[in-house]
Structure 1
Amino acid sequence: MINQLIWSIGTLTLAVLFLQLCKFIIPYLRSSQLIKYKTEDAYALITGATDGIGKAIAIELADNGFNILIHGRNVEKLKSVEKEIIRKNTACKVINLIHDGSKSSRMDIAPISHLPITILVNNAGVGPISELATMSNQEIDQTIMLNTAFPSQLTHDLIPFLKKASLILNVSSYAGILPPPYLAVYAGTKAYNNAFSISLARELENIEVISLLSGLKI
């Protein structure tokens, strides 16, 4: 009798743990197709689009027929990316958004709220490599502001204007799951990005939310 009770409790515990694991990984396994978000004259907004991952995503979305809203804080770089996109896709409409998310978490979206935006890519971020004790207070504040507060506020402000069948892609990092040394603040913000994405994925019905776990191949 006792052995049977222990076996039953063990089986039930394993079943609960398995269900919890499934709930955790399902948001990462769902397939996504861009065609779902390609409505007439659809726009995609990409933050931090002047370099690296953000620029690559902006160009790829333009190649797939989306009009592009590119965000950055450097006018010359934005103009350069705009020219590169239009050179490859002459029919693409490109709008530049200038805002420093490390200094202010709120970007004025009134000028673009009328556009049929179906994709938001929260890519802007910074990851200073340093011992926490040697980082300045300003550097800590700006990292947290740009990596967490800025995408949170932008997502909050844009959700009411996103058209149905929309996508929010949050560019995160494996550092948020396997935090390395000398990246304490950055890793903490990326853990936030992951949790933020998973929670929103379960909260929003008509908007797909994905956390993109980026990282270096060593």
Structure 2
Amino acid sequence: MRSILSFIGCCILWVVAVPYLVVYVTFQLVASLLELPRFIYRWLLHSPVLETEYHLPQAYALITGASDGVGKALAEELANRGWNLILHGRNPTKLDALADILRAAHPTIDTRVTVQDTTHSTSFPDLFAHNLVNLLGPITLLVNNVGTLHSAVPFCALTSDEINAALLTNIAFPTLLTHYLLSSPVRRRGSDTSAYAMSPRAAEENSPLLGGGGAKGGVQWELRCIMNISCIAGLHATAHSSVHSATKSYLTSLSRGIVMDAPAGIEILNLLIGHTRTASWRGKNSMLVQDVDACVRGCLAAVGLGKTRGHGRGSRAWGCQDILGLGSMGGRGEGVYVYWLHELWVGLERVLPGRVSDGLAAYYDGIFGREVALF
């Protein structure tokens, strides 16, 4: 009797399991095919627009976390492209050394340094104001790059100071800095269009969401693009990465939300970086580890794939991209990858069953080596 019941149970299981498996595989394949147009456009058809759209005469790029790693490489690449720079970091020695090198190599650009330790709650973006005076031109590009690196420490082994540092650096600082720049647009000083300064509060002059504007002494928008440097760790937490993954997930959500509130025409670009071989990399060598110079080129080439509110650049073309899921908030809505292999790897994790996917994520996380410095 027991064998008969077991046989009936197995038959019922197969009757239920086989259709479920077919539906699951079909759904995953369809979902992957729907991602294909966006993937092809991203890696084969998209033309970079950073220089043509955002590099106004004497424009500045404000880069946080520029003393090391990806931030430093971004500063060097943008200097090569003729951008004026405002470099932020917590290490004055490293920042001054980088600024001196850039000034010597590129004497025609204006390079400024602002030192702030973002791991302390008193070190928030209002302190930027003293460096944002008498600029030669507008700040058109903000790069929120600063962040604590994944320390590969179990959650229970983290100290309260380490958790606070991650929350302040990865969440509070980029949020407050972005808010400060969006809610305090640039004021032209009288008839002198070559000098710029941040207004104390846009509300005193005009509504920032209206783009204020105009003439001598008025308030006008100059910020054109916000690049938030997130990472694929924010898409799925693994062992020893809970806080780091959570903070990066926040930055991704923040990018999606700002699009709805930011003034029309400002591009919000959330970039998903994976393992990157910087000077402080201590992990394994693998094809899944991207060289920092290639990472930076991928970041800058992705400009134009972000989201804007309103009709800033060819509404018909950009509307078609939104429908096809080609923008940073299209597709699954997480952001733009800077390395095609990382995108394929994450896509593979999503298609495969849970345990296999977890195994792939664990393998990827195992490539990582312990790092303790800040970008």
Name the structure 1 match of 2:87.
Answer: 70
Deviations 1:53-80 (A, max 9, x none): 0011111111111100000111110011
| Contact 2:227–2:268 (Cα < 8 Å) also in 1 | yes
| Contact 1:148–1:189 (Cα < 8 Å) also in 2 | yes
The answer to whether residue 129 in structure 2 is matched with residue 106 in structure 1 is no
Which of residues 251, 261, 271 in structure 2 aligns to 1:203? 261
Name the structure 2 match of 1:135.
Answer: 158
Report the Cα distance in structure 1 between the residues aligned to 2:56 and 2:64, rounded to whole angstroms. 21
| Contact 1:201–1:210 (Cα < 8 Å) also in 2 | no
TM-score (norm 1): 0.82
Equivalent residue of 1:109, what SS? helix
Q: How does 1:26-65 map to 2 (within 5 A)?
A: 33-35=49-51, 36-65=53-82
Shift of 1:197: 0.9
| Contact 2:139–2:223 (Cα < 8 Å) also in 1 | no
Shift of 1:200: 1.4
Q: Which amino acid aligns with 1:111?
A: H
Name the structure 1 match of 2:181.
Answer: 158
Identity %: 34
Q: Is the deviation greater in 105-114 or in 85-94?
A: 105-114
Report the Cα distance in structure 2 between the residues aligned to 1:97 and 1:113, rounded to whole angstroms. 10
Name the structure 2 match of 1:83.
Answer: 100
Q: Which amino acid aligns with 2:179?
A: H
Q: Which amino acid aligns with 1:56?
A: A
Q: From the CA coordinates, give the structure whose radius of gyration is larger.
A: 2
Residues 1:31 and 1:139: Cα distance change in structure 2 (over 3 Å):
farther
| Contact 1:48–1:125 (Cα < 8 Å) also in 2 | yes
| Contact 1:113–1:158 (Cα < 8 Å) also in 2 | no
| Contact 1:50–1:71 (Cα < 8 Å) also in 2 | yes
Deviations 1:107-164 (A, max 9, x none): 2122244441001000010032210000001110111110010000000001132644
Equivalent residue of 1:119, what SS? strand
Give the alignment's Cα RMSD to 1 decimal: 2.4
| Contact 1:165–1:208 (Cα < 8 Å) also in 2 | no
Q: How many residues align?
A: 197
| Contact 2:88–2:115 (Cα < 8 Å) also in 1 | yes
Q: Which runs of 5+ in 1 are unaligned?
A: 1-13
Report the Cα distance in structure 1 between the residues aligned to 2:85 and 2:222, rounded to whole angstroms. 18
Shift of 1:165: 6.0
| Contact 2:62–2:85 (Cα < 8 Å) also in 1 | yes
Which of residues 103, 124, 140 in structure 2 aligns to 1:118? 140
| Contact 2:147–2:166 (Cα < 8 Å) also in 1 | yes
